[in-house]
Amino acid sequence: MNDSSVLSSSEESTVFVDALMPLPIPKNFTYRVPRAWAELVEVGMRIVVPFGSSKVLTAVIVRMHHQPPSQYQAKYILEILDDRPLVTSSQIDLFNWVAEYYMCYPGEVFQIALPAGLKISSQSKVQINPAYSLEISLNDKEQCVFQAIQEKGSLSYDEIAQIAELKSPYHLIKSMVAKQAVLIFDELKDRYSPKVIRKIRLTQAYENKEKLVDLIQTLESKPKQLAQLLHYLQFIPVLRNPEVNQKGLDKSSFTQADLSESSLQTLIKNGVFEIFEVIVSRFGQEDSEDFIPAAFELNPAQTTAYQSILQQFQEKDVVLLHGITGSGKTEIYIKLIQEALANGSQVLYLLPEIALTTQIVLRLKRIFGEQLGIYHSKFSDNERVEVWKSIVEGKYPLVVGVRSSVFLPFSNLGLVIVDEEHEASFKQVDPAPRYHARDLAVVLAKQQGAKVLLGSATPSIESYYQAQEGKYGLVTLKERFGKAQLPQMILLDTKYAQKMKQMKGGFSVDLIQALEDNFQKGKQSLLFQNRRGYSPYIQCQDCDWIATCHQCDVSLTFHAREQELRCHYCGYKEGLLRRCSACGSTHLKTMGYGTEKLEEELQLHLPDARIGRMDLDTTRSKTAFNSLLSEISSGNIDVLVGTQMVAKGLDFEGLSMVAIFDADKAINFPDFRAHERAFQLISQVAGRAGRREEQGKVFIQTNQPTHPLLEHIIHNNYEAMYAEEIVEREGYHYPPFSRLIKLTFRNLDASRVETAARHMAAALQNKFGHGRVLGPEKPLIERIRNQFAMEILIKIEKGLALKKFKETLREEMDIQMTGPACKGVQLIIDVDCM
């Protein structure tokens, strides 16, 4: 007798379900299924369950059984939300894998994986008690809150705390409940609502021709109503074909056509028209017109690469495609996608958020049409719910998406493409699970028997190492697409220029000259500086004081357009100071260069040039972003100043020159990945230069022109950079020769953070050895939002049993965290920290 027959045939025994809860708790909760629903539940369905005294939560069934829990009385489930599983069992396995690997709770993975619209939950709110007799006196604060509730209808605990200016509203609410002034109730947070449009059609009575002709005649005397009817018939030719009436016409069509609303209402009242509602997709049908699969041919280099990838997939599950910028990786991706789709399997195409642009989406849409689903964090939650559900229903065999799309309910994945594989933004920073989508893509693919293609012009050291070791396949594309040549790279020595008095502000005269020349030729240039705002800090010239954030240990960035000082970490802003806060001097000077300042200075050097700026601040709104784009493409901008947004986001045609304002900051950044990152960033920006017929130029300002890394960059020599870097990594036991786990302690009290971190470090060193546990150390920014932090770095050498190590680590940390030294201090665990 197998398990399922026990479940369905047994009449006596109640069905219990183990539910994955959307909470940071270590275990699943067990609930009881009402007998009437016993046949309806399945693993992977969402259920609504009671939790605590009055809350409700959405959970996912992960197991069904007949064992009543012995320690407690299981509660009944309240609702079954799905008629088919919305979460696959392989997803549940993946959630558990992620929780274990990234040392968090499965519930946290669940919380991140599902769009909010799929998780209904309740929140406690307070409303007026209708039975309240005004006699029982409320004190001032209570009165104040009472009035606020009367105005708004209801308030959450947080809102009450704010109004009453209390840290915890508990006592106040309790008192008001006791006085029977208010009631506590639970309000469901809004759940997914399908998009509905109202349509109008003729009632059945008028679906035949004669009736309709009669009707038109009777309406001769009522021109407004006749106009309505004719408007309808114009779009829905019922006279010619009565069946089209069923489709109806959008109600908005009438409103827009400037027809009177009341005459429409009359027709509805008289039973001529009827209103009905249809559920429509949020993803407009407007481009469903027959798309032309843009035919293209791979060039010989691409063909070779393509065939090589297919061949290596025979033996390897993961292949790294190392293709320089402009080598045409995307065409290869498309060919592979077409091939996978033709085999009937699903494809996931992962992109960093910054690179998932309308350009690439439109291109794919043109080729794959309705097969393409898009999963972007910029989309509304409702849209993400629709993508999720569609995938469950077998629609969208191809999904282009950002980081979190690795959690979509794929059932038959054949290929995963991770483009810009080296991008650090694939790693989630906050909240848990702090997963790396590229690494998770490999796990997901393995689970589903799919292949993974990692693509990059500058692969991560980790991935390239895997390829060198033979774990991954490797395919290299060294040729630029078409006739395009690699840009010419020129280093500009700012130290020397300084000595020779050849610097104008932050610009060397050579750079100004180059920009000038390019402008005179009528060509477009890009000036790259990865720093937004006007200047990263302002300083008093008399006492060296620097304006800093009150809540963070960072300098405030000056934004000229708003005349504000801003903290880029907590969002704090204040008006520009007139006087030094330390000595009162008025000699405040902007120091360092942000894009805003470069834009301004450059305008002085090139007074006739039209200069544009593209960074987070100029592209906040979609319209601003789009208009900037069209300005660039229509040639209305001569020099574009921008941050990494221009490097990673859009593909511009026709930038013949790129200038990197400051290469040193990235190179000298105090992090073991600094060289790798600098190489990637500068190469990527440089890759924007040049077009089909013409070799582009790249100017790099640096005060260390002999730095080996720059040498590799200007020769586009990734392999040399890798060779140098991998030696460093091995020597210092950094990834890929070890795995890192970062423990961050946070608290408002700096000394408590320090005590906790030291205590934990000592305990861990004792347990795992001093070589494996480094720190604690203060992070680069010691305090953010008044929270102090300290970090411990754990290095796990290759070959050590990872799973076992993490288990032991978790045990040890749990013990220490309950001790007096660590109690109350927040601990953040970041596995494979970047």
Partner DNA sequence: AGCACGCCGACT
Partner DNA sequence: GTCGGCGTGCTC
Residue 398 Rama label (left phi>0; alpha psi -120 to 50; beta): beta
- The single residue among 37, 97, 157, 545 that binds Zn ion, judged by CB under 5 A, is 545
Please classify residue 526 by burial: count the beta carbons closer than 10 Å to its beta carbon, then call 0-12 exposed, 13-18 middle and 19+ buried: buried
Residue 50 or 705 having the CB closest to DNA: 50
Residue 571 or 819 having the CB closest to DNA: 819
- Least separation in angstroms between CB 441 and DNA: 27
For Zn ion, which stretch binds (CB under 5 A), given 60-68, 132-140, 547-555, 704-712?
547-555
Residue 583 or 748 having the CB closest to Zn ion: 583
Whether 712 and 720 have beta carbons less than 8 Å apart is answered as yes
Q: What is the DSSP string of 551-582?
A: SSSSBPEEETTTTEEE-TTT--EEEPPSS-TT
For Zn ion, which stretch binds (CB under 5 A), given 220-228, 305-313, 378-386, 546-554?
546-554
- Least separation in angstroms between CB 431 and Zn ion: 20
Which residues lie below 8 Å from residue 755, measured CB to CB, with a gap of 6+?
Answer: 821
Which residues of this protein are in contact with DNA, per CB under 7 A? 23-25, 27-32, 49-55, 69, 72-75, 123-124, 139, 141, 157, 166-168, 170-172, 174-175, 184, 823-824
Q: How far, in Å, CA of 320 to CA of 456, rounded?
A: 8
- Least separation in angstroms between CB 57 and DNA: 9
Using CB distances below 5 to 8 A depending on partner kind, what does residue 627 bind out of DNA, Zn ion, none?
A: none
The DSSP 8-state label assigned to residue 77 in this structure reads: P
- Least separation in angstroms between CB 158 and DNA: 7
Using CB distances below 5 to 8 A depending on partner kind, what does residue 570 bind out of DNA, Zn ion, none?
A: Zn ion
- The single residue among 21, 160, 418, 540 that binds Zn ion, judged by CB under 5 A, is 540
- Least separation in angstroms between CB 16 and DNA: 9
Q: What is the DSSP string of 738-804?
A: EEEEEEEEEES-HHHHHHHHHHHHHHHHHHH-TTTEEEEE--SS-EETTEEEEEEEEEEETTS-HHH
Using CB distances below 5 to 8 A depending on partner kind, what does residue 446 bind out of DNA, Zn ion, none?
A: none
Using CB distances below 5 to 8 A depending on partner kind, what does residue 27 bind out of Zn ion, DNA, none?
A: DNA
For Zn ion, which stretch binds (CB under 5 A), given 293-301, 369-377, 573-581, 655-663?
573-581
Whether 577 and 539 have beta carbons less than 8 Å apart is answered as no
Residue 126 or 452 having the CB closest to DNA: 126
- Least separation in angstroms between CB 125 and DNA: 8
Residue 582 or 727 having the CB closest to Zn ion: 582
Whether 745 and 760 have beta carbons less than 8 Å apart is answered as yes
Residue 84 or 171 having the CB closest to DNA: 171
Residue 118 or 554 having the CB closest to Zn ion: 554
- Least separation in angstroms between CB 18 and DNA: 8
Q: How far, in Å, CA of 24 to CA of 274, rounded?
A: 50
Using CB distances below 5 to 8 A depending on partner kind, what does residue 75 bind out of Zn ion, DNA, none?
A: DNA
Query: With the C-alpha atoms ordered 276, 281, 282, 285, is the resulting torsion angle positive or negative?
Result: negative
Site for Zn ion in 11-70 (CB under 5 A): none
Using CB distances below 5 to 8 A depending on partner kind, what does residue 171 bind out of Zn ion, DNA, none?
A: DNA
Using CB distances below 5 to 8 A depending on partner kind, what does residue 549 bind out of DNA, Zn ion, none?
A: Zn ion
Q: How far, in Å, CA of 761 to CA of 766, rounded?
A: 8
Residue 482 Rama label (left phi>0; alpha psi -120 to 50; beta): left
Residue 696 Rama label (left phi>0; alpha psi -120 to 50; beta): beta
- Least separation in angstroms between CB 137 and DNA: 11
Using CB distances below 5 to 8 A depending on partner kind, what does residue 408 bind out of DNA, Zn ion, none?
A: none
Using CB distances below 5 to 8 A depending on partner kind, what does residue 567 bind out of DNA, Zn ion, none?
A: Zn ion
- The single residue among 156, 253, 299, 551 that binds Zn ion, judged by CB under 5 A, is 551
Residue 216 or 750 having the CB closest to Zn ion: 750
Q: How far, in Å, CA of 557 to CA of 546, rounded?
A: 11
Residue 211 or 823 having the CB closest to DNA: 823
- The single residue among 48, 413, 432, 580 that binds Zn ion, judged by CB under 5 A, is 580
- Answer yes or no: is 552 a known binding residue: yes
Using CB distances below 5 to 8 A depending on partner kind, what does residue 191 bind out of DNA, Zn ion, none?
A: none
Q: How far, in Å, CA of 306 to CA of 309, rounded?
A: 5
Using CB distances below 5 to 8 A depending on partner kind, what does residue 54 bind out of DNA, Zn ion, none?
A: DNA
For 307-329, letters b (16+ CB in 10 Å) and e give: ebbeebbeebbbbbbbbbbbbbb
Q: Is residue 569 a contact point for Zn ion (CB under 5 A)?
A: yes
Using CB distances below 5 to 8 A depending on partner kind, what does residue 545 bind out of Zn ion, DNA, none?
A: Zn ion
- Least separation in angstroms between CB 582 and Zn ion: 5
- Least separation in angstroms between CB 820 and DNA: 9
Q: Is residue 549 a contact point for Zn ion (CB under 5 A)?
A: yes
Please classify residue 72 by burial: count the beta carbons closer than 10 Å to its beta carbon, then call 0-12 exposed, 13-18 middle and 19+ buried: exposed
- Least separation in angstroms between CB 67 and DNA: 12
How distant, in Å, are the alpha carbons of 361, 401, 452, 462, 648 from that of 364? 5, 12, 19, 29, 18
Residue 175 or 425 having the CB closest to DNA: 175
Q: How far, in Å, CA of 753 to CA of 791, rounded?
A: 10
Cα of first residue to Cα of last residue in the chain, in angstroms, is 51
DSSP three-state, residue 350? strand
Residue 174 or 446 having the CB closest to DNA: 174
Which residues lie below 8 Å from residue 725, measured CB to CB, with a gap of 6+?
Answer: 461, 675, 676
Q: β-strands 507-508, 503-504: how paired?
A: antiparallel
- The single residue among 583, 780, 781, 801 that binds Zn ion, judged by CB under 5 A, is 583
DSSP three-state, residue 534? coil
How distant, in Å, are the alpha carbons of 298, 327, 445, 481 from that of 332? 8, 10, 19, 12
- The single residue among 417, 552, 678, 686 that binds Zn ion, judged by CB under 5 A, is 552
- Least separation in angstroms between CB 787 and Zn ion: 11
Closest CA to 568 of 747, 834, 784: 784
- Answer yes or no: is 833 a known binding residue: no
Residue bearing tokens 């309806």? 40
Size of the site for Zn ion (CB under 5 A): 15
Using CB distances below 5 to 8 A depending on partner kind, what does residue 572 bind out of DNA, Zn ion, none?
A: Zn ion
What is the Cα Rg of the chain in Å?
32
Residue 173 or 319 having the CB closest to DNA: 173
Residue spans of alpha helices (H) in 126-260: 140-152, 157-163, 170-178, 209-218, 223-235, 251-256
Using CB distances below 5 to 8 A depending on partner kind, what does residue 540 bind out of DNA, Zn ion, none?
A: Zn ion
- Least separation in angstroms between CB 377 and DNA: 20
- Answer yes or no: is 570 a known binding residue: yes
Residue 655 or 784 having the CB closest to DNA: 784
- Least separation in angstroms between CB 633 and DNA: 44
Residue 573 or 610 having the CB closest to Zn ion: 573
Annotated binding site: 540, 543, 549, 552, 567, 570, 580, 583
Annotated binding site for Zn(2+): 540, 543, 549, 552, 567, 570, 580, 583
Residues in contact with Zn ion by the rule CB under 5 A? 540, 542-543, 545, 549, 551-552, 567, 569-570, 572, 580, 582-583, 585
